[in-house]
Amino acid sequence: MFGDVLRNEIKAKGYSQKEFAQKMNISPSAVNAWVKGTRKPDIDSVIIISRILNVSTDYLLELTTNSINETTAALSQNEDPLLQKIIDTWS
């Protein structure tokens, strides 16, 4: 469930829900609703969430079990710096 993935990733990155809400520039109650599953974020918010937490949108939406960090680890030495540059640009 999206809320479970979001809760786990927020915690894994060391944020409180309030801190994460501040990074998203939204209310803590919105994050709480996403985590509880009573509301779903729009697609633009999902993209922002993935950038802040440094995970793929597919991972957040449970289309894959690999977060971006696990995927990056499997890249060749030539691909990794390019991907990191892209991630840094969008973070």
Calculate the average pLDDT of the chain: 85
Angle between helices 17-24 and 28-36 (to 10 degrees): 120
Joined together, the tokens standing for residue 82 give 């390019």
Kindly state the percentage of the chain with pLDDT values over 90: 62
User: Is pLDDT above 70 for 11?
Assistant: yes
| Cβ(21)–Cβ(49) below 8 Å | no
Summarize pLDDT for 13-39 with one digit per residue, the tens: 999 999 999 999 999 999 999 999 999
